[in-house]
């Protein structure tokens, strides 16, 4: 949580209450997509893409389903729609 700016923490706290974090790092986007598709269903939380977006987990999964090749490091979700 130390990597977050105070504004980011305030945004998260406003949306879900007191946050806790789980950090995931993958070698490839395919691995990241597969992992997140496996662990996020049913999670009531947020996904920080680490590229200027914080999305509801369910919204993130919807985007992965609609855009299977989406690389959130290079293209924000707002550019998909």
pLDDT digit of tens for each residue in the chain (81 aa)? 777 788 888 888 888 888 777 788 888 889 989 998 899 898 888 888 888 898 888 999 999 999 999 999 999 999 997
Tell me, what's the pLDDT at 6?
Answer: 87
- pLDDT score of 46: 86
Burial of 80 (0-12, 13-18, 19+ CB in 10 A): exposed
Residue 43 CB burial class (10 angstroms; 0-12, 13-18, ≥19): middle
* 0.85 exceeded by pTM: no
Nearest to 46 by CA among 31, 61, 27: 61
Q: Output the pLDDT for position 77.
A: 93
pLDDT value of residue 80: 92
How much is the pLDDT for 23?
80
């Amino acid at each position: 949580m130390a990597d977050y700016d105070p504004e980011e923490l305030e945004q998260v706290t406003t949306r879900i209450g007191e946050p806790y974090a789980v950090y995931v790092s993958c070698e490839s986007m395919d691995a990241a997509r597969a992992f997140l598709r496996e662990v996020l269903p049913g999670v009531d939380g947020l996904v920080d893409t680490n590229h200027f977006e914080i999305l509801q987990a369910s919204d993130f999964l919807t985007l992965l389903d609609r855009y299977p090749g989406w690389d959130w490091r290079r293209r924000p979700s707002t550019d998909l729609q």
